[in-house]
Structure formats: C-alpha cells, structure tokens
C-alpha cells in the first residue's frame, strides 16, 4: 500500500486523520507520516485498512466468495470456506490458494494485492 492508496482509503471511509489513527490504534503523527510518505506502511496496518474498506457498511454481502470465483476445489480444507469469509481470504492466514499457501504475511499480501478478490472489493 502506498501513501496515495492509504489516503484514498481513509477518505472512502469518511474519516479524518485523527479518526483513522484511533481506528488503527496508532498515533495521529503516524497517519501523517504514512500520508506524507515519510514512513512505510507496515503489512499489519495495510491489512487493517483493507479490512475496514472491504467491510464498510455491509459492502461484502454482494461479494462472490473466493472459492466460487477461483474454482479452487479446496473449499473444505480452507479457513476462508470454514468461516464463510470468501471475501476476506486475503485477510485470513492459512488459506489454501496455490499462490499464497505457506507464504509469510508480507509475501501473501504482495500476491493478494494483485488478486481480483481483493481488488474488486477496493473499487
């Protein structure tokens, strides 16, 4: 997540920088630093921001679950299916996607950023 995407996400949520800091449990100065490009946005903050945007006012109800969209055939072994969170597969560790299975959180987020499941929800 870059500085522009962070600021765009905050605006989509209708939050001030102070309100965003409170939502994320970080200092206001940290939000300033992210938006100015003085600090890199860590993966755990990026995941929280995506989670908030994807779940804003029930937006996820219209999302097609990942197992239907990808026709993966691993549904019953995957935590995204088990918890009926196919719109949050990018958020859940231990998913069965071939591209992310066994990856570190940073590597998983790198791959998930380009996945249609997450991209469709961020539009």
Q: Evaluate whether 100 touches 108 at the Cβ level (below 8 Å).
A: yes
Sign of CA dihedral 20, 54, 84, 111: negative
CA distance 107 to 105: 6
Sign of CA dihedral 22, 7, 95, 44: negative
Q: Residues with Cβ < 8 Å from 7, sequence gap 6 or more?
A: 35
Sign of CA dihedral 43, 51, 115, 10: negative
Mean pLDDT of 50-69: 78
Is the pTM for the entire model greater than 0.85?
no
Report CA 109 to chain centroid distance, whole Å: 8
CATH no., domain 1-41: 1.10.260.40
Mean pLDDT of 22-28: 94
Reply yes or no on whether the pLDDT at 54 is more than 80.
Answer: yes
Give residue 58's pLDDT band: very low, low, confident or very high (50, 70, 90). Answer: low
Total residues found in the chain within this entry: 123
Q: Evaluate whether 38 touches 105 at the Cβ level (below 8 Å).
A: no
Sequence ranges of the domains in the chain: 1-41, 58-123
pLDDT score of 62: 64
- Scanning the structure block, which residue is given the tokens 């765009």? 8
């Amino acid at each position: 997540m870059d500085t522009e995407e962070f600021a765009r996400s905050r605006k989509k949520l209708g939050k001030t920088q102070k309100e965003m800091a409170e939502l994320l449990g970080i200092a206001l100065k940290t939000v300033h630093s992210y938006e100015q490009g003085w600090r890199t946005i860590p993966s755990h903050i990026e995941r929280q921001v995506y989670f908030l945007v994807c779940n804003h006012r029930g937006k996820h109800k219209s999302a097609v679950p990942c197992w239907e969209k990808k026709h993966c055939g691993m549904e019953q072994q995957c935590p995204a299916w088990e918890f009926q969170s196919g719109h949050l597969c990018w958020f859940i560790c231990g998913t069965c996607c071939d591209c992310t299975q066994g990856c570190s959180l940073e590597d998983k987020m790198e791959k998930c950023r380009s996945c249609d499941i997450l991209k469709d929800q961020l539009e």
